Amino acid sequence: MIMIRFDILTVFPEMFTSPFQVSLLKKAQERGLIEIGVHNIRDHALDRHRMTDDAPYGGGCGMVMKVEPIDRALSSVRRINERSVVVLLTPQGECFSQLVAEELAAYSQIILICGHYEGVDERVRQHLSDREISIGDYVLTGGELSAMVVVDAVGRLIPGVLGNSESTLSESFSMGLLEYPQYTRPSEYRGWKVPDVLISGHHREIDRWRRRESLRRTLIRRPDLLKDADLSAEDKMILQTLTEEY
Ligand code: ADE
């Protein structure tokens, strides 16, 4: 059963050929868990030159994406019986996060509009989109890479897309803490050793070490995450000693 259908509206559909043809998203499509449709906005431009952009009213440099081709493209992909959400990718949007990815994963159709040029006609924001999302405080040449990021982050939340169903539970951000350090064989390489506790086989000790390292890493790298993290009394004590240590 298809869990989520993504429809991407873009003027550069060729950008999407390889990213979705590899790895987990490829498998997810093959197994029918997700569907991804990429649609060229230009196919919905009706004028002789099939223009998707035009000069801004009021003057100024650059071009603005036109509203009609986007509206027509939207009408052609929107599925009436689905729980759909229309997302405009733009640096002016709310910042994308694990929480936003989880919210989007509740829909059955996600339509992503990739903005371009100097901007998108304001009526697309006002009347056609439900949400505006930015993937970070930097400006890309267009919304295509951002759409890929959203499809990837939401797609992997669909049950069955990841091999191990626990792997979305214990990872960075969904628990509110950064992940603990991971090691694999060999236990020593060029004198660089794996911490003894991980080789000890004492599972309780290993769990405690991992929790402590998660807390340490979050405290050092992303202390802002701690205020929303789910912390036990013991976690708070550990944080206290770590804070004194640094
Ligand atoms: N388009 C251009 N820059 C972007 C960004 N940072 N996030 C989303 N869409 C964009």
CA distances in angstroms from 49 to 13, 42, 68, listed in the order given: 18, 10, 14
pLDDT of residue 20: 94
What distance in angstroms lies between residue 12's CA and the mean position of ligand 1's atoms? 15
Residue 10 CB–ligand 1 contact under 6 Å: no
pLDDT of residue 175: 77
CA distances in angstroms from 69 to 52, 137, 243, listed in the order given: 6, 28, 55
CA distances in angstroms from 18 to 23, 25, 26, 156, listed in the order given: 10, 11, 10, 17
CA distances in angstroms from 102 to 123, 132, 197, 235, listed in the order given: 27, 16, 34, 26
Ordered by start, the domain boundaries in the chain are 4-155, 169-245
**Locus of tokens 């789910």:** 230
pLDDT of residue 144: 98
For atom 2 of ligand 1, the residue with the nearest CA is 140
Q: What are the structure tokens assigned to 187, written together?
A: 């236990």
Quick one: which atom of ligand 1 is closest to the CA of 89? 9
What distance in angstroms lies between residue 88's CA and the mean position of ligand 1's atoms? 9
Surface-to-core class of residue 220, CB atoms within 10 Å of its CB (0-12 exposed, 13-18 middle, 19+ buried): exposed
pLDDT in tens, the chain (246 residues): 779 999 999 999 999 999 999 999 999 999 999 999 999 999 999 999 999 999 999 999 999 999 999 999 999 999 998 899 999 999 999 999 999 999 999 999 999 999 986 899 999 999 999 999 999 999 999 999 999 999 999 999 999 999 865 466 556 666 799 999 999 999 999 999 999 999 999 999 999 999 999 999 999 999 999 999 999 999 999 999 999 998
In CATH terms, the fold of domain 4-155 is Alpha/beta knot (3.40.1280)
Produce one character per residue of 143-180: b if its CB has 16 or more CB atoms within 10 Å, e if not.
bbebbbbbbebbbbbbeebbeeeeebeeebbebbbbeb
Residue 115 CB–ligand 1 contact under 6 Å: yes
Closest to 32 in 3D by CA, of 57, 59, 74, 2: 2
Closest to 157 in 3D by CA, of 67, 28, 65: 28
pLDDT of residue 118: 80
pLDDT of residue 236: 97
pLDDT of residue 172: 63
Q: Is the C-alpha dihedral spanning 65, 67, 72, 78 positive or negative?
A: positive
Per CATH, the homologous superfamily of domain 169-245 is tRNA(m1g37)methyltransferase, domain 2 (1.10.1270.20)
pTM, to two decimals: 0.92
Whether 91 contacts 125, CB under 8 Å: no
Whether 98 contacts 33, CB under 8 Å: no
Determine the Cα angle at 177 with ends 176 and 178, to 5°: 135
Mutate to test the pocket of ligand 1, among 89, 95, 133, 152 (most ligand atoms within 8 A of CB): 89
Q: Is 118 helix (H, G, I), strand (E, B) or coil?
A: coil
